[in-house]
Structure 1
Amino acid sequence: MLDERDRKILDLLQTDAGISVTDLADRVALSVSACSRRIQRLEDSGHIAKRIVVLDREKMGVPTTLYALIKTAHHADEWIETFRKAISDIPEIVEAHRLTGNHDYILKIVLPRVEHYDVIYKKIVRRVELFDVSASISMEVLKSGVTIPVGYAE
């Protein structure tokens, strides 16, 4: 069971995983050793899945975001696994979701420029049969982030 200090630790760590344990302990009013034990417990319990570094996309040369909406005529487990493998080693595809509604999948793709989408598209269609693919280019980021709400965790 998580308490408010655990939630505060999680919230602070997901904002800055590089925060020192000393600073974190000060911010949640714990001793360094108690804070360290809590972090270890949160890692052991799986509440902290991993710690990562978020890179600046402009500086990394991939400022463009494109969403590919995919329809397929195939829904068998074997095809889904083939699709998963087809997209797994394409680093420009940073997220992939299976959907309800009019489309079966959505891919979030980061690119150096819009024209590079054709390279990614060809990689995908060479590996797996698709019924329809449409793409939308993100014109402006209104909200972005990797943090999630911590208030629901138990």
Structure 2
Amino acid sequence: MDDTDKAILSLVQHDADLALNDIAEQVGLTSTPCWRRIQRLQQHGVISKKVALLSAEKLGLAMTVFVQVKAGRHDGKWLDTFARHASAFEEVVEFYRMSGEFDYLLKVLVSDMASFDHFYKRLVNGIDLNDVTSSFAMEQIKYSTCVPLNHL
């Protein structure tokens, strides 16, 4: 990966709708070599997909909740079952297995407290959990989908 690849990645992760000619011009290439580089980055999985980012707030999802879960058990079957169970909820937009005091962290988007309560009851229903703690975000200070590139 060279500086031109990094420049292409920076441009497309800020605006995936940029025209190929605009990207090529900004990185100092003609269209064909720029297109080849983008294709190579896609084939290698560096560019994994192109999406539209939606405004959760404008869609009525004004509440962000971070849910921390302690596993009920630590065997493979339970872990697989819980991963499938929690991943199935549309409200769960991020889901991580963690080190430390809690085993899992879920980022949940809902419209209000009643919606969260409904989600919570479905999450804990029928699954053996040791502990569940929820924290409600009061303000989003930074949000980015951009991956840092300076280390490359």
TM score, norm. by length of structure 2: 0.95
> Structure 2: 5+ residue runs without aligned partners?
none
- What is the one-letter code of the residue matched to 1:81? D
CA–CA separation in structure 2 for the residues paired with 1:123 and 1:87: 10
* 1:39 correspondence with 2:38: yes
CA–CA separation in structure 1 for the residues paired with 2:87 and 2:101: 23
SS in 2 for 1:49: coil
CA–CA separation in structure 2 for the residues paired with 1:81 and 1:58: 32
Deviates more, 1:144-153 or 1:8-17: 144-153
| Partner of residue 5, structure 2 | 6
CA–CA separation in structure 2 for the residues paired with 1:35 and 1:74: 50
CA–CA separation in structure 2 for the residues paired with 1:110 and 1:127: 22
* 1:123 correspondence with 2:105: no
Percent identity of equivalent pairs: 36
| Partner of residue 62, structure 2 | 63
Aligned length: 152
| Partner of residue 104, structure 1 | 103
Indicate the RMSD between aligned Cα atoms, in angstroms. Answer: 1.1
Residue 113 of structure 1 and its aligned partner are, at CA, apart by: 1.2
Residue 115 of structure 1 and its aligned partner are, at CA, apart by: 2.5
TM score, norm. by length of structure 1: 0.94
Q: Which runs of 4+ in 1 moved over 3 A?
A: none
Residue 123 of structure 1 and its aligned partner are, at CA, apart by: 1.2
Deviations 1:11-31 (A, max 9, x none): 111111111111111111110
| Partner of residue 133, structure 1 | 132
Contact 2:87 2:95 in 1 (8 A): no
| Partner of residue 148, structure 1 | 147
Deviations 1:59-104 (A, max 9, x none): 2211210001111231111111101111122111001111111111
Contact 2:72 2:129 in 1 (8 A): yes
